[in-house]
């Protein structure tokens, strides 16, 4: 990755004489071009303002980049130096990170005591998304299979609980294993044919699966009540207490989040997890050392679907209402964004990614209209400037690949 990056920048930087001229004319040309593109949608006045803003912006950006470049190199050297020294006294940083961890844990546990209901509500939602993102991370991050219809499993889980509860009157604890079992089974059913396909074909078939599930939910009126959705779902009972209070449910979700992180982590460092990483890195090589690639890909799909099912049941129990609107393609994209923002294959990264992408839209309520614009352009920028996400892949991956090339996504 980094090798390519430096090569590209070297190639781009033109000679110094040309640079002086182009540093003024190029931003103007680029800005003019972009402003012209926006012209039909914005009108002449807005386009000319855009032109003025863009040209100054690009000019400043180039100037800054030129200025920052040597500075950044210096900083990089200093950091390398520092980490070298820190390694000697690593027990100190370990102690510090332990304290930070305990403080974080304390904060998470004490949230319902000081936070407003609104915040707890969002935190619960974040918890559900963390479980979802963990599931997708298994499929995309660990095994390297791009699933663009992940939301289908989430939907099946939610609807399974909704139907079992409202039609058959089954309680949460009976429905949970049934629903999750059903979702895992549907993961298997999709995976068996789909895994014969490579890369992009797999992506598009999973996308199709997601759309089919949504269309069925939307049109099968006699069972799913179509676009109206199913309401009146019971919250879970625990020791005879109904968990309908926000703080109750917060802890309830917290337990599930902790379980999901724990289990996914254990599986990741097991033989199965290592097989997934091997398949992601090079399918042919891993099958030649005796890994049954089809079986392991199947496990990844079903295991990912399992967590989507859990999240779906929790979602239905929290909202006490499900409708097809919650399970669109955009939702799949959002979950994928969480995984990618956090860092493919990194468990802490994915947790952070989910939290950020749930919290951010809530914080940006004032500029609500523009937040999808920001999400779209943010994705592009993220891919260009930090494709590995906030966290690099976890230590296991690095240990597996020590001395090898960087983590790549090949499918």
C-beta of residue 195 within 8 angstroms of C-beta of residue 294:
yes
List 204, 356, 360, 364, residue binding other proteins (CB under 8 A):
204
Q: CA-CA distance, 262 to 58, in Å (whole number)?
A: 46
Specify the stretch interacting with other proteins by CB under 8 A; choose among 97-105, 192-200, 236-244, 270-278. Answer: 192-200
Largest CA distance in the chain: 79
C-beta of residue 406 within 8 angstroms of C-beta of residue 2:
yes
In the structure encoding, which two tokens stand for residue 343, read together?
A: 């860092």
List 23, 26, 32, 34, residue binding other proteins (CB under 8 A):
34
Residue 223 touches other proteins, criterion: CB under 8 A = no
List 45, 84, 85, 410, residue binding other proteins (CB under 8 A):
410
| Minimum separation from the CB atom of position 113 to other proteins (A) | 38
C-beta of residue 300 within 8 angstroms of C-beta of residue 139:
yes
Round to the nearest angstrom and report the end-to-end CA distance of the chain: 17
Q: Site map for other proteins, 283-322, x if CB under 8 A? A: xxx-------------------------------------
Residue 376 touches other proteins, criterion: CB under 8 A = yes
| Count of CB atoms situated within 10 Å of the CB of 315 | 26
CA distances from 255 to 163, 175, 314, 320, 358 (A): 24, 18, 12, 20, 19
Q: Residue count at the site for other proteins (CB under 8 A)? A: 58
CA distances from 106 to 103, 140, 261, 344 (A): 5, 32, 18, 27
| Minimum separation from the CB atom of position 41 to other proteins (A) | 5
Residue 1 touches other proteins, criterion: CB under 8 A = yes
List 152, 340, 347, 352, residue binding other proteins (CB under 8 A):
340
Residue 379 touches other proteins, criterion: CB under 8 A = yes
Residue 203 touches other proteins, criterion: CB under 8 A = yes
- Residue with smaller CB distance to other proteins, 179 or 397: 397
In the structure encoding, which two tokens stand for residue 60, read together?
A: 């400043």
User: DSSP secondary-structure letter at 245?
Assistant: S
List 329, 359, 392, 401, residue binding other proteins (CB under 8 A):
329
- Residue with smaller CB distance to other proteins, 214 or 274: 214
Specify the stretch interacting with other proteins by CB under 8 A; choose among 170-178, 256-264, 346-354, 375-383. Answer: 375-383
List 17, 20, 41, 289, residue binding other proteins (CB under 8 A):
41
C-beta of residue 309 within 8 angstroms of C-beta of residue 158:
no
CA distances from 104 to 98, 100, 111, 188, 252 (A): 10, 6, 11, 37, 18
Residue 193 touches other proteins, criterion: CB under 8 A = yes
Q: Which residues contact 355 (CB under 8 A, 6 or more apart)?
A: 126, 130
Specify the stretch interacting with other proteins by CB under 8 A; choose among 29-37, 70-78, 87-95, 153-161. Answer: 29-37
Residue 201 touches other proteins, criterion: CB under 8 A = yes
| Minimum separation from the CB atom of position 375 to other proteins (A) | 6
Three-state SS at 124: helix
- Residue with smaller CB distance to other proteins, 127 or 304: 304
Residue 49 touches other proteins, criterion: CB under 8 A = no
| Minimum separation from the CB atom of position 77 to other proteins (A) | 26
Helix axes 293-319, 246-268, angle to 10 degrees: 170
| Minimum separation from the CB atom of position 252 to other proteins (A) | 33
- Residue with smaller CB distance to other proteins, 71 or 284: 284
CA distances from 211 to 85, 137, 379, 392 (A): 53, 21, 23, 32
Residue 33 touches other proteins, criterion: CB under 8 A = yes
C-beta of residue 301 within 8 angstroms of C-beta of residue 188:
yes
Residues that bind other proteins (CB under 8 A): 1, 4, 8, 33-34, 36-37, 40-42, 140, 146, 193, 196-201, 203-205, 207-209, 211-212, 215-216, 219, 283-285, 329-330, 333, 336-337, 340, 344, 369-370, 372-373, 375-380, 382-384, 387, 408-411
């Amino acid at each position: 990755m980094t090798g390519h990056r430096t090569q590209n920048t070297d190639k781009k930087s033109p000679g110094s004489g040309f640079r002086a001229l182009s540093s003024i004319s190029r931003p103007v040309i680029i800005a003019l071009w972009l402003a012209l593109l926006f012209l039909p949608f914005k009108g002449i006045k807005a386009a000319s303002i855009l032109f003025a803003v863009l040209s100054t912006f690009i000019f400043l950006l180039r100037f800054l980049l030129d200025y920052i470049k040597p500075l950044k190199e210096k900083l990089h050297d200093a950091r390398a130096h520092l980490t070298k020294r820190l390694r000697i006294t690593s027990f100190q940083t370990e102690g510090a990170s332990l304290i930070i961890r305990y403080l974080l844990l304390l904060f998470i546990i004490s949230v319902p005591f000081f936070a407003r209901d609104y915040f707890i509500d969002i935190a619960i939602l974040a918890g559900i998304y963390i479980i979802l993102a963990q599931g997708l991370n298994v499929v995309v991050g660990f095994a390297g299979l791009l699933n663009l219809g992940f939301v289908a499993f989430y939907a099946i889980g939610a609807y399974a609980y909704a139907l079992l509860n409202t039609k058959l009157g089954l309680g949460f604890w009976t429905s949970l294993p049934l629903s999750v079992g059903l979702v895992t089974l549907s993961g298997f059913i999709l995976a068996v044919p789909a895994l014969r396909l490579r890369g992009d074909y797999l992506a598009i078939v999973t996308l199709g699966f997601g759309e089919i599930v949504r269309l069925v939910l939307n049109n099968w009126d006699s069972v799913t009540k179509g676009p109206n959705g199913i309401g009146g779902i019971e919250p879970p009972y625990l020791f005879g207490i109904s968990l309908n209070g926000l703080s109750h449910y917060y802890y309830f979700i917290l337990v599930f989040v902790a379980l999901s992180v724990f289990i996914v982590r254990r599986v990741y460092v097991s033989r199965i997890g290592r097989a997934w990483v091997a398949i992601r890195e090079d399918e042919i090589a891993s099958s030649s050392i005796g890994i049954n690639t089809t079986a392991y890909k199947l496990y990844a799909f079903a295991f990912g679907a399992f967590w989507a099912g859990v999240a779906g049941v929790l979602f239905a129990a929290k909202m006490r209402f499900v409708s097809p609107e919650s399970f669109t393609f955009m939702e799949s994209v959002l979950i994928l964004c969480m995984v990618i923002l956090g860092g493919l294959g990194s468990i802490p990264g994915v947790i952070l990614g989910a939290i950020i992408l749930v919290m951010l839209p809530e914080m940006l309520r004032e500029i609500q209209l523009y937040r999808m614009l920001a999400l779209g352009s943010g994705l592009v920028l993220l891919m260009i400037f930090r494709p590995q996400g906030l966290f690099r892949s976890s230590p296991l991956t690095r240990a597996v690949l020590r001395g090898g090339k960087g983590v790549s996504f090949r499918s």
